[in-house]
Amino acid sequence: MSPHVETSVAAAALSVDNLEVAYTVRGIDRAVLRGVSFSIAPGEAYGLVGESGCGKSTTAYASMRYLPRNGKILSGRVLVDGDDVTNMTGSQLQRFRASEASMVYQDPAQAMNPSIKVGRQLIESFTLLGRSKADATNDALQALRRVRIADCERVMDRYPFQLSGGMQQRVVIAMALACDPKLLVLDEPTTGLDATVEAEVLDLVRVLREETNAAVLMIAHNLGIVRSLCDRVGVMYAGQIVEEGPCREVFDDPQHPYTVGLLRSLPRRGVRKTEQALATIPGMLPLIGTDLPTCVFVDRCPLADDLCRTVVPPVVPVGITGNRYTRCHHLDRISDIIEAPTDVPIGILAKSEDNPDVLELSHVSKTFRQRSTEVPALVEVDLQLGEGETLGIVGESGSGKSTLAKTMLGIESADMGGVVSLDGHAVAAKTAGRSADDKRAMQMVFQNPDSALNRAWSVRRILLRSVTKLTGIKGDEANDRVEKLAAQLRLTPRHLDLKPRQLSGGLKQRVAIARAFAGDPRIVVCDEPTSALDVSVQAAILNLLADLQAEQHTSYVFISHDMGVVRYLADRIAVMYLGRIQEIGLTDDIFNGPNHPYTEALLSAVPSLDGEITTRIRLDGEIPSPANPPSGCVFHPRCPRAIVGVCEVSEPPLVEVAIGHSMRCHISIDELRVLQQGH
């Protein structure tokens, strides 16, 4: 039952053999890992993917034998370089962690001690290996140089919170590499970092992989990252690896229904909402500890039949190379579900002459005052939003995306001189000054439905209140409307009487969307509405948003850091940097180029799930503080194409370079086209 493919146990740097882990909840052991087996050769990178709750992080931490207080290894072995981690004594385990295996974590800001200088934390990793203080200091400096930190003496003398996210993660990586580990575990190392910083960190990991001979175990929910970094991948579901093989083969030709579902729920290969709805995986991941006598995926599988319900699927080798397997009875029928979904391709009206503008912003700026300094968070933003149109807004953190959304809605008031117009009439800068109709016309969906919904109220009460507040309807009529709304959002009547905490993340976000739609809004501003959700749930929400738009001609302002999602949903895209719109155009124009150099960098930072080679341009340095923006074009200090003597002198205006395509750049569109050829 333990499929060791490719690497034999003896040669493997990490070999996990039939590992079973349980968490004790209220006195009962609940299975989390149900016989996980895989091995990684020295120098090889192995990715574990799957949705939250599938056990990938537990596997990673179990391989370092670091489990929560209520977690325990029931059976199985974890061999690192031949030593069994599961039966080490306390001091052996310490020595193992100090010299054999290391880990890089999701949130570098939290992973370092906030009150100890970076240098001391790094030196500690070396003194643990028995080096003298002086040697350890030298080693630490060397380690920082190794992770490409130029100014290492200064960085050593800093506290973690004084470094940017990218720098923090470099330091954590330097710490992890201190002992020249045999096993390096990366747990979502770039989640939460900005796209350009993520690209930088991934580049570093790629280079370091060449330099060390460590086996890399990478946990990521972003499949593109796994594809671009790992040799092999294991797809986990409900505590089992259901499919394993080389990344390219698994992602291009999945052989397990779950892998198929996972991949199809992602917007890939530039597919748009007008072409095809996203596939979803019906149902939910089984709770930990649930009895799963047969196939773990049986309840959600489109191919499931009686065989699947009665017989545990065997490990079936795929192909002839012997380095791939899947756990499925119906390998021969996989292709049946690979067919594109027959769902409606939704014809949505892009902005055109016959579509009146619902929303118009002209010369909208927003300046915050911090103590005595002025911080321009939004600078001279002009934009229009047509009826039924989706405007995607992208940019890194601090670019002003959320401020733009809040200013539209009047949560923040625009500076004097800026005008927000709704259906042709100017509205008050502050929400409080707007008429009931104007308030109803613009609603928002937030990133985190947990904090957006009142936890003490039932879903029905949350929606009833929005209906009465926004439309003035009361009593039975309001109740009818709530039920209609719930039905539109695919919520069952049963859900209406539950409290938010009884709902899954996806259902909660549906309630949040229903709330926004309670008063037939003209515009819904969505601020990262799916970034906290798993991909299969994300697909359902994106489909729903597209459907609602087709039915009601609602316009969306869609803020996201996920270029794939924006590409799928948006008709037009605005790219923001330091409070300015640097480029705006139709989705195809943005993705086909030529682009503003910042957009170019942003696009080439996205690790492709489809394995396309992109000519990458990389940004140096960090996003400047909006309080102290650079002279001239605000992007020039990081711009690889900046023209000396021009770009630092004057800021280029936002100019229409082609029909409906504007950008702020001193370089002409023709030159950009030549420069960016090969995209």
Partner 1 sequence: MGRYLLRRLSSAIVTLWLLATIVFLIVSVLPGDVGRKVLGPFALKEDVARFNRQLGTDRPLLAQYFTSIRRLFTLNFGSSYNSGGLVRDIIFPALFRSGKLALLAFVITIPISIAAGIFAARRQDKVSDRIVVNVGLATSSIPEFVTAALIMSLFCVHWKLGKVFADPPAGTSVIGQLRMLLAPAMAMVIAYFGYIARMSRAGVIHGLQSDYARTATMKGLSKGKVMRTHILRNALAPTITVISVQVGYLFGGIIGVEKVFNYHGLGSTMLSAVKARDIPVLQGAVLLVGMIYMVSTLLADLLIAVLNPRVRLETTR
**Which residues make up the interface to partner 1 (CB under 8 A)?**
64, 66, 69, 91, 94-99, 102-103, 105, 107, 110-116, 124-125, 128, 159, 161-162, 172, 175
Minimum CB separation of residue 85 from partner 1 in Å reads 13
Min. distance of Cβ 624 from partner 1 in angstroms? 17
Query: Considering the complex, what minimum distance in angstroms separates the CB of residue 58 from partner 1?
Result: 14
Instruction: Identify the three-state secondary structure at position 491.
Output: coil
Q: Which residues contact 210 (CB under 8 A, 6 or more apart)?
A: none
Q: Are 574 and 584 in contact (CB under 8 A)?
A: yes
**Cβ proximity to partner 1, 23 vs 96, nearer residue:** 96
Nearer to partner 1, 157 or 620 (CB): 157
Helical spans, DSSP H, in 318-413: 334-338, 401-409
The bridge status of strand 655-658 relative to strand 661-663 is antiparallel
CB 531, min distance to partner 1, A: 21
Residue (116 or 312) nearer to partner 1, CB = 116
User: In the complex, what is the shortest distance from the CB of residue 43 to partner 1, in angstroms, rounded to a whole number?
Assistant: 22
Closest CA to 184 of 157, 211, 203, 158: 211
Closer residue to partner 1 (CB): 96 or 591: 96
Q: Nearest distance from residue 88's CB to partner 1, in Å?
A: 12
Give the nearer residue to partner 1 in terms of CB position, either 105 or 368: 105
Nearer to partner 1, 109 or 550 (CB): 109
Query: Cβ of residue 121: shortest distance to partner 1, in angstroms?
Result: 8
* 558-to-391, 483, 544 alpha-carbon distances in Å: 6, 26, 14
By beta-carbon proximity to partner 1, the closer residue of 31 and 111 is: 111
Sign of CA dihedral 105, 109, 111, 117: positive
In the complex, the smallest distance separating the C-beta of residue 59 from partner 1, rounded to whole angstroms, is 16
State the amino acid at position 301 in one-letter form.
Answer: C
Q: Distance between CA atoms of 76 and 98, rounded to whole angstroms? A: 23
Q: Which is nearer to partner 1, 128 or 349 (CB)?
A: 128
Residue whose CB is less far from partner 1, 168 or 599: 168
Shortest separation between residue 497's beta carbon and partner 1, angstroms: 34
Nearer to partner 1, 16 or 295 (CB): 16
Strand, coil or helix: 367: strand
Helices (runs of H) and strands (runs of E) counted in the chain? 25, 24
Min. distance of Cβ 621 from partner 1 in angstroms?
A: 21
* Closest distance of CB 125 from partner 1, Å: 5
**Residue 113: how many CB atoms within 10 A of its CB?**
13
3-state secondary structure 586-650: EHHHHHHCCCCHHHHHHHHCCCCCCCCCCCCCCCCCCCCCCCCCCCCCCCHHHCCCCCCCCCCCC
Show the tokens assigned to 363. Answer: 């010369």
CB 18 within 8 A of CB 62: no
Residue pair 260/334 in contact by the 8 Å Cβ criterion: yes
Token pair belonging to 396: 């890194």
Residue with Cβ nearer partner 1 (310 or 373): 373
CB burial of 395-410 (b: ≥16 within 10 Å; e: otherwise) equals: bbebbbbbbbbbbbbb
Q: Tell me, letter by letter, the H, E, C secondary structure of 519-543.
A: HCCCEEEEECCCCCCCHHHHHHHHH
